[in-house]
Homo-oligomer: A and B are copies of this chain.
Amino acid sequence: MASIHEVARRAGVGVATVSRVMNNTGQVRDETRRRVLAAVEELSYRPNRTARGLARRRLATIAALVPYVTHPSAVARVQGMVEACRDLGMPVSLFDVEVPEHQREHLSGLTGDLRPEGFVVVSLHLTAQERAWLQRASLRPVLIDVEQEGFSTVVIDDEQGGALATRHLLELGHRRIGFIGDLERGQDGFGFRASPLRHRGYVRTITGAGVRRVSAYERTGPHGQEMARRHAHELLGLDRPPTAIFAASDTQAVGVLAAARERGLRVPEDLSVIGFDDVEIAASARLTTIRQPLVESGRRAIQLVEVERADPARPPQRVVLDIELVTRDTTGPPS
């Protein structure tokens, strides 16, 4: 409620000095600083973030660009960001992307008049034009689940994750292992990289183990439980069906589980299923899966945002989060 002027008057200094002590910018004599701080305290002065934003051309907000915000993994990451921002006293603005156009629209606004102090982009690849916009606005988002030259990023090693899952199956004795994942470039227009990378880990591992790839065991399609269920039915309807299936996400794994149930197959006796992510539903379904720290990824991204804010010159960082195999009830040796 109190403005910088009142603080200045009360402290017997100019507004510029108040600004200096509030932002720790420039030199201020200790005695003066104390007087200002006292006035700030007495008036319980809080700088107006909007005015500050206007002057600095940078709004006190952290923007998050997230595809499919309701997807369980997105929810977890948003949670991490929201938590971290709450601790910083910084509002988070959520920008949902359901179709590729949304990305462009949001980016246009964000690099235009809205100009957040911090910016996080989840899973999305920035186009050349968008990168140009960002540069002109001197905005440098922190990326999650994608890597792009010149940006700090928080990722996991998806390929290793795929390998981890596959090796687990191999070690249980499986040789006929199916894979169900997303389209390399979905007809939804997005090109998420997680699934393809996990697939690569799968391929590398089974061939590395001397097991021949069977193309009929591999299916990709639009992401979702339903589609995974259909694919699983196709695999399980084969003459020599796989004895285990690696789904590129827990959501898809649940679809596989549904198909197995519908065919009267026992899990894991007749079919082993392993997922990826370890979102909430994985625990309820007692699903074996590869856990990735989703909430943590959101939190770390905000940390990186803060680091870059403190030192804009700092070169991009690359944070790789650990993943681990979580063994539950859906995997076992083939019978």
Residues on B with C-beta less than 8 A from A96 are 79, 82-83, 86
Is A113 positioned at the interface, with any CB of B under 8 Å from its CB?
A: yes
In the complex formed, the residue of B with least CB distance to A285 is B284
21 A-B contacts, Cβ less than 8 Å apart?
A46-B112, A48-B54, A49-B114, A50-B53, A50-B113, A50-B115, A51-B54, A61-B93, A69-B82, A78-B94, A82-B94, A83-B98, A86-B96, A86-B102, A89-B105, A89-B109, A91-B95, A93-B93, A225-B284, A254-B284, A281-B281
A114 to chain B, nearest CB (A): 6
CB pair B93–A92 under 8 Å, yes or no, is yes
B-contact bits for A42-56, CB 8 A (1 contact / 0 none):
000011111101100
* Among B59, B70, B83, B95, contact of A75 (Cβ-Cβ < 8 Å): B70
Residue numbers in B under 8 Å from A94 (CB-CB): 78, 82, 91-94
- CB <8 Å contact, A1 and B93: no
Q: Are B70 and A76 in contact (CB under 8 A)?
A: yes
Residue-by-residue, is A72-116 near B (CB-CB < 8 Å gives 1, otherwise 0)? Answer: 000110110011001001011111101000100100010011110
Residue numbers in B under 8 Å from A105 (CB-CB): 89
CB distance from A69 to the nearest CB of B (A): 6
A70 to B82, CA, bound (A): 10
Sort A-B residue pairs by CB-CB distance and give the 8 closest, nearest first: A48-B113, A91-B93, A82-B96, A70-B79, A50-B53, A49-B113, A93-B93, A50-B54
Question: How far is the CB of A57 from the nearest CB of chain B, in Å?
Answer: 8
Encode A28-48 as 1/0 by CB contact (under 8 A) with B. Answer: 000000000000000000111
Query: Which residues on B sit within 8 Å (CB–CB) of A50?
Result: 50, 53-54, 59, 113-115
- What's the least CB distance linking A180 to chain B, in Å? 17
Cβ of A28 to closest chain B Cβ, rounded Å: 23
Return chain B residues, CB-CB under 8 Å to A91.
Answer: 61, 63, 93-95, 109, 114
As for how many copies of this chain the complex holds, the number is: 2
Residues 282-298 of A at the B interface (beta carbon under 8 Å): 284
Task: Determine the distance from Cα of A72 to Cα of B310 in the docked complex, in whole angstroms.
Answer: 35
- In the complex, what residue of chain B is closest to A47 when comparing beta carbons? B113
A19 to chain B, nearest CB (A): 15
Counting chain B CB atoms within 10 Å of each CB, the highest count among A50, A69, A70, A258 belongs to A50
Bound Cα distance A284, B63 (Å):
33
Min CB distance A5 to B, Å, is 15
Identify the closest chain B residue to A76 (Cβ): B70
Contacting residues, chain B, for A47 (C-beta < 8 A)? 113
Closest B residue, CB atoms, query A92: B94
The interface centre, meaning the residue of A76, A91, A95 with most chain B CB atoms within 10 A of its CB, is A91
A330 to B105 alpha-carbon distance, docked (Å):
44
In the bound complex, CA of A83 to CA of B59 (Å): 23
Give the distance in Å from the alpha carbon of A95 to the alpha carbon of B48 in the complex. Answer: 19
How far, in Å, is A266 (CB) from chain B's closest CB? 15
Chain B residues contacting A98 (CB-CB under 8 Å) are 83
